[in-house]
Amino acid sequence: MNSELEEIALASTVKAGHRALRVQVGNPRQDHATQGWRCTYRVLGEPVRRAHGPDRLAAIYAALVEISHAAVLAAASGRPADSDRARESADLRLTAGAEPVSAAQTREFGPPLAAKAVHTAGGPVVITLGRPRQDPDRPHTFLCPFRIDDRTEAFGQGIDEVRAVISAVRGVGSILGIPLDWPVPDTADRRGEGR
């Protein structure tokens, strides 16, 4: 395994039509040459790739958007799934150090995935995304907690961890009236404008 993926931030099986793509997203690292952040990820069976952003959250979001696009392309192309599934765990989340969670633990915020200060029309806020997890009451649903300052806490949800995080990001955008893709660097000039 590539050393940049030793610290896994997310491991998921992403739905791509009738196929399932297994993905790993490493914890972002600061790129000292550019002062930005890079997030290494892999769709298993393919080479390691990198997404970049000005901060940790933007790098993670860029990787997740790229993974989401790869899933759409894989579903459309109908290319064969990874042929050597027998050598790897069927539940990649458990191999990444995660443990099954109870219903009570699902509702807890848990360890953060990333946080970012954002300027809105109402003033600055700190947004924190938690790590996504499977909803024990709905086995085909994953939840990603998010918090806006200390006053709003909610969940994004999706059919896998990647889509749950993207849903949380878009939920924050909806609540704050900022672009739904607010972590992306080119939206920095639009922050606080509303939709």
Q: Does residue 113 sit in the same domain as residue 67? A: no
Q: How far is CA 179 from CA 69, 138, 171, 189, in A?
A: 19, 29, 10, 10
Residue ranges of alpha helices (H) inside 78-145 are 92-95, 103-107
Looking at residue 108, its pLDDT comes to 75
Indicate the residue among 79, 114, 129 that finishes a domain. Answer: 79
Residue 34 covered by a domain:
yes
User: Do 111 and 183 share a structural domain?
Assistant: yes
The total number of structural domains in the chain stands at 2
In this structure, are residues 26 and 39 in contact, taking their beta carbons and an 8 Å threshold? yes
> Which domain range does residue 182 map to?
103-190
Q: Looking at 30, 63, 79, which one is the last position of a domain?
A: 79
What is the pLDDT, as a whole number, of residue 58?
93
The pLDDT, as a whole number, for residue 81 is 45
Say if 84 falls within a structural domain: no
Tokens linked to 126: 């700190």
Residue 28 falls within a domain, yes or no? yes
Angle at 44 between CA 78 and CA 100, to 5 degrees: 110
pLDDT confidence of residue 103: 54
Q: Which residues of 78-107 are buried (b: 16+ CB within 10 A; e: fewer)?
A: eeeeeeeeeeeeeebbeebebeebeeeebe
Is 7 a domain residue?
yes
Q: Is residue 57 located within the same domain as residue 107?
A: no
User: Which portions of the chain are predicted below pLDDT 50?
Assistant: 1-2, 80-98, 187-195
Q: Indicate yes or no: pTM above 0.95.
A: no
The model's pLDDT over 41-53, given as tens digits with 9 standing for 90+, comes to: 998 878 899 999 9
96 domain-assigned: no
pLDDT at 78: 61
Pair 170, 114 in one domain = yes
114 with 164, same domain? Answer: yes
Q: Residue 153, Cα to own-chain centre: how many angstroms?
A: 17
Same domain membership, residue 115 and residue 46 = no
Whether 8 is in a domain gets the answer: yes
- Output the pLDDT for position 141: 94
